[in-house]
Amino acid sequence: MAKKSCFVLFNETSLLSFYRSSFSDFASKHGKDERFRGVEKMRERENMFQDYVSDLKRKEKEDKASQKEKVCVVLVEGKIYPKCQWKNCVLQQIVSPSTTR
């Protein structure tokens, strides 16, 4: 139960703070939080933090790869036209591929 509440704390904090800070920075900011202290061993807290950050980075990488694949599909299928704007052509095709011009 303590681990789940610690993950809830990770989710509630800003995502940008994970990329800019280390575990020691996070621990100093949130060390007084009961959810963080619910996990008794500091090493276990650090492992949880590192796992959470690596999962975030992996998900972000997968999202970027899927976006890149979608853009490639739009470009290969020729669903763009001369003088079209990126925002109007490609991004609309990625978000809602059923609408074509």
Encode pLDDT of 27-43 as tens digits. Answer: 888 888 888 888 888 89
What does the block give as tokens for 15?
A: 């995502």
42 Rama class: left (phi>0) / alpha (psi -120 to 50) / beta: alpha
Average pLDDT, the chain: 79
pLDDT in tens, 54-69: 888 898 899 889 888 8
Helices and strands, counts by H and E, the chain: 6, 0
pLDDT tens digits, 69-98 = 887 887 777 767 777 777 777 777 777 655
DSSP 3-state assignment of 31? coil
Total count of residues recorded for the chain: 101
Return the DSSP state at 91.
Answer: I
Say how far apart CA 70 and CA 76 lie, in whole Å.
10
- Pick from 37, 47, 42: nearest CA to 6: 37
Using a 10 angstrom Cβ sphere, with 0-12 exposed, 13-18 middle and 19 or more buried, the burial of residue 48 is middle
